Amino acid sequence: IPHTLRRFPYASFLMGRIFYYQQQYAQALTYFQMAYEGNFTSSALYLDYINCLLATHQFERAREKLEEALTLFHGDERFLMLAGKIYLNLGKYYWYRFEEPYTREYFLKKAHNFLTELITQKPDAAYPHYLYANSALLLENWENAEWGIERALEIQPHNRRYLLLELEISLKKDDEEKAKELRRDLFIEHTLTDEEIQRYIPTYPRFREEMGLPQW
Q: Is residue 149 pLDDT above 60, yes or no?
A: yes
Confidence class for position 202, pLDDT limits 50, 70, 90: low
CA distance 149 to 21: 32
Average pLDDT in the 78-97 region? 87
Confidence class for position 152, pLDDT limits 50, 70, 90: very high
| 3 state SS of 191 | coil
3-state secondary structure 91-119: HHHHHHHCCCCCCHHHHHHHHHHHHHHHH
Higher pLDDT: 205 or 115? It is 115
Say if CB 99 and CB 52 are below 8 A apart: no
Average pLDDT in the 74-102 region? 86
pLDDT value at position 33?
92
170 CB-contact burial (10 Å; exposed 0-12 / middle 13-18 / buried 19+): buried
CA distance 96 to 134: 19
Percent of the chain with pLDDT over 90: 56
The DSSP code for 215 is: P
Exposure of 154 in the CB half-sphere (CA atoms within 13 A): 11
CA distance 22 to 181: 44
pLDDT value at position 128?
96
The DSSP code for 95 is: G
pLDDT value at position 3?
56
CA distance 169 to 177: 13
